[in-house]
Chains A and B, each alone.
Chain A
Amino acid sequence: MILEINNLQHSYDGTTQSIKNVNFKVRSGEFISILGHSGCGKSTLLRLIAGLEEQTEGTIKINGEIISDDKFQTPTEKRGLGLVVQEKALFPHLSVLKNTSFGIKNNAAGRSKAMDLLDLFEVSHLSSKYPNEISGGEQQRVALARALAPEPRILLLDEPFNALDEDLKNNLHNETKKIIEEKNLTVLMVSHDKNEAIFFSDRQIIMENGRIIEEID
């Protein structure tokens, strides 16, 4: 198992539980979608795995090694994960190429790797542009390329296609799926779109009020 979540609990204010006793496992190369209404705790679950929030109880293991429990937290930057969020979060002061190579060594090899990824997502011609000079769809392609550059053990996607129009979304769905399959990536995606989840996933996890209520293969 590449990822194991055991008895995970979390609360933002110390009283209301946003994640309640969550348990699941992810195999290497598996694509899992986490579905649920807004406020059900699906994004919080992703942030806990990324180390952007601290759980109150439970353990998270990657490749059998505990990366966080109620006493110890491996910092986000040491977990070897990739993250793409709905807002893209590209660094506005850096060019597309520099954004993509942000998480890897800034040498010729690093830049070449970044260019290859941009090529894969068909945005290499925009490498010298800045985020504000490219479209929303192009920004999301750059965000995906940037997340893949450090070769993450698990790719976390938090509603990454949400802000895109239907045509653009369909195109990007197809291309992203192709790349994920080619690279045999392990992916955990949060979504509220059932069709999107069906298109991508090997397995779907349905959440409600901070709990997993159903798992669908």
Chain B
Amino acid sequence: MPYKLSISSWKAFPFLILLVFIAPVLIVLSSLFGDYSENWSHLYNYVLFDYVSNSILLILGVIFLVLIIGLSTSWLVTNYSFYGKEFLEWALILPLSIPPYILAYTFTGLFDTTGTANNLSREILNLGQDFVLFPNVRNIYGAILVFSFTLYPYVYLVSRTAFMNQSRSMLEAGRVLGLSQFQTFYKLSLPIIRPAIIGGLMLVIMETLSDFGAVDHFAIQTFTTGIFRTWYGLYDLNTAMQLASLLLIFVGVFYLLERYSRSETEYTSTSSTFRPTKEIELKGLKSSLAFFVCFFPIFIGFLLPVSELAVWAFSSNLGFFNEKFYTTTFNTIYLALFSALLCATLALLINYSIRFTKSRFSNLLSSLLSIGYAVPGLILAVGIVQLLAWLDNKVLLGLEIVLTGSIIGLIFAYLIKSYALANSTFESGFKRISPSLDDSARILNSSGWSMLLRVHFPLLKTSFLTSLLLVTSEVVKELPATLILRPFNFDTLAVSTYLYAAEERMFLAAAPAIAIVAIGLIPIIILTRMIKSSRPTTNKDGYDS
């Protein structure tokens, strides 16, 4: 291939993929400029206000709780030494392996009038059948609890890193100037890590707005449930797309805020004389209290739902691990692995092409290609269905429906949604490879594909494997896009869990839910290893070594 052509193909490749990735989103947004049906007037007059107000209430409640849980736990584990701290420090991220919809199902099973918790309380306290100790959770407050206890690790992770990177000298200067321990926290530490916290919060908000399974189970009217009902209840795809566009604009604002806050995270110390914070040892009641504060979210967000699922799955004799379970697991794993393989390969090729061609648009390209993580799965599904239908009709001339309802749409959605995960892994992987290796390879007659296969790929094997694992676990959890785009009679673990839970057959939902949690633990294990090795080391004088 002539050199100029070879360079041009590498240059064009990321732009081509970007075009494919944003097509479904543009299709959804284009509906705003089309006709508005009577259903739209109905939605506008009667339910749109509920969608907006419920979404805002949900967001505010979740922000409030995740801030309390995320900040208190991260402050404790970075600044104090107390009983069980080493275990709690990594265990606090375990709830990330539980998708909100699974916590919602277990909450219902636990706290309904005849749920496990209320039955137990009646038995222990020897009270009548009418006695209800735990209140009903099938409402917006229950949903706030569900999202808060599954999503707080986003705030915990970023604030823990930010607290850890704060210089001890700066905090000591505050103490010398007369600030108490608590004043040092809210007057110095908190304002400095504010951009990092906002970044974490934006992720929490986007996840909350994107969710379908939990709000649907609690019968709360939000944008996602509205889109689903408009499409499958009123059979009005156009109005569903218009509703989806509104949600997209809503999410877009938070996405931009998240990107902005990332660019503002340079407050942390980069000085060569950086001194990590010194841990204060807590004893007696204070140590127990710190343990309780950190253990409680792990208990509610991980131990309680996993125990409930285990009880459902193993204590009843319903034969959960039957052929259907194995078929569903097989479907999920091969779909997830195939998507992950594609996604990792794509991220490798795009990052390489940006590096190889020294693209001037590298940051912009990377941001735009990663935008899919912020787009709710339901919106992607709506856009993809329209795109595939158009391709079937216009390109394949409607001779046969090939793409619509096939597995292609599903894989396409997973690629868009998970690309950001694979991309961030490769971005950091490529940054670790010195550009002088590229120069040496080129001067030794190795360029393009040859340099990728002989130099970069062997050095990026770990990044490739990490992104495979991260994308696999993300795909396994994805519910709304799978529910809509899956081929007829093709169930995955997430769909299976949703369908059983929708029919209130919680015992049957337990086995696939446990499998989802087990697979979701994979990235947690990776994160745990990173957390264990992330604490700055100090020499005898307390200086960073």
Contacts and interface: CB of A to CB of B under 8 A. Distances in A.
A18 B487 CA distance: 60
Interface string B373-395: 00000000000000000000000
Contact of A93 (B439, B443, B444, B459): B459
A75 interface: yes
A93 B437 contact: no
B443 A82 contact: yes
B198 to A, nearest CB: 33
Given A87-B434, A87-B436, A91-B455, A81 B447 contact: no
A166 B447 CA distance: 36
A50 interface: yes
A50 B3 contact: no
Given A102-B444, A146-B444, A85 B436 contact: yes
A52 B437 contact: no
A77 interface: yes
A76 interface: yes
A77 B440 contact: no
The prevalent SS among residues of A at the interface is loop
Nearest to A98: B454
Contacts of B459: 92-93
Given A89-B436, A91-B455, A93-B459, A83 B3 contact: no
Interface in A5-61: 47, 50-52
Contact of A85 (B3, B439, B441, B445): B439
A165 B260 CA distance: 47
Contacts of A50: 439, 443
B436 A76 contact: no
A77 B439 contact: no
B434 A150 contact: no
B505 interface: no
Question: What is the interface residue range for chain B against chain A?
Answer: 10 to 19
B443 A77 contact: yes
Nearest to A73: B3
Contacts of B444: 77, 102-103, 146, 150
A75 B437 contact: no
A78 B6 CA distance: 14
Contacts of B455: 91
A81 B3 contact: no
B447 A77 contact: yes
Given A75-B3, A78-B3, A89 B447 contact: no
A79 B436 CA distance: 18
Interface string A63-101: 000000000000111110111010101111100000000
B187 interface: no
Given A83-B440, A102-B446, A89 B3 contact: no
Counting chain A CB atoms within 10 Å of each CB, the highest count among B434, B437, B442 belongs to B442
Interface string A96-120: 0000001100000000000000000
Counting chain A CB atoms within 10 Å of each CB, the highest count among B436, B439, B443 belongs to B443
Contact of A150 (B3, B436, B441, B445): B445
Contacts of B446: 77, 102-103
B445 A77 contact: yes
Counting chain A CB atoms within 10 Å of each CB, the highest count among B436, B444, B446, B458 belongs to B444
A77 B458 contact: no
B319 to A, nearest CB: 50
Contact of A91 (B3, B437, B445, B447): B437
Counting chain A CB atoms within 10 Å of each CB, the highest count among B3, B436, B455, B459 belongs to B436
Nearest to A143: B440
B458 A89 contact: no
Given A89-B434, A92-B459, A93-B458, A75 B443 contact: no
Interface residues of A, number: 24
A81 B459 CA distance: 25
A102 B442 CA distance: 11
Contacts of A79: 443
Contacts of A150: 444-445
Contact of A89 (B437, B445, B454): B437
Interface in B426-480: 434, 436-437, 439-447, 454-455, 458-459
A81 B439 CA distance: 12
A87 B439 CA distance: 12
A147 B437 CA distance: 13
Nearest to B455: A91
Nearest to A51: B442
Nearest to B6: A75
A147 B443 CA distance: 9
Nearest to B454: A102
A77 B459 CA distance: 21
A213 to B, nearest CB: 27
Contacts of A147: 443
A77 B440 CA distance: 10
Contacts of B434: 87, 89
Given A77-B444, A92-B459, A52 B439 contact: yes
A93 to B, nearest CB: 4
Contacts of B442: 51-52, 75-77
Contacts of A85: 436, 439-440
Contacts of B3: 75, 78
B437 to A, nearest CB: 5
A76 B440 contact: no
B402 to A, nearest CB: 41
Nearest to B445: A77
Contacts of B436: 85, 87, 89
Contacts of B437: 89, 91
Given A52-B442, A89-B434, A89-B437, A75 B458 contact: no
Interface in B132-165: none
19 contacts: A47-B439, A50-B443, A52-B439, A52-B442, A76-B443, A77-B442, A77-B443, A77-B444, A77-B445, A81-B443, A83-B443, A87-B436, A89-B434, A89-B440, A102-B444, A102-B454, A103-B443, A103-B446, A150-B445
Given A77-B447, A89-B436, 8 more contacts: A76-B447, A85-B440, A89-B434, A91-B441, A91-B455, A93-B459, A103-B445, A150-B444
Interface of B: 3, 434, 436-437, 439-447, 454-455, 458-459
Interface of A: 47, 50-52, 75-79, 81-83, 85, 87, 89-93, 102-103, 146-147, 150
Closest 4 CB pairs of A and B: A103-B444, A89-B436, A76-B442, A89-B440
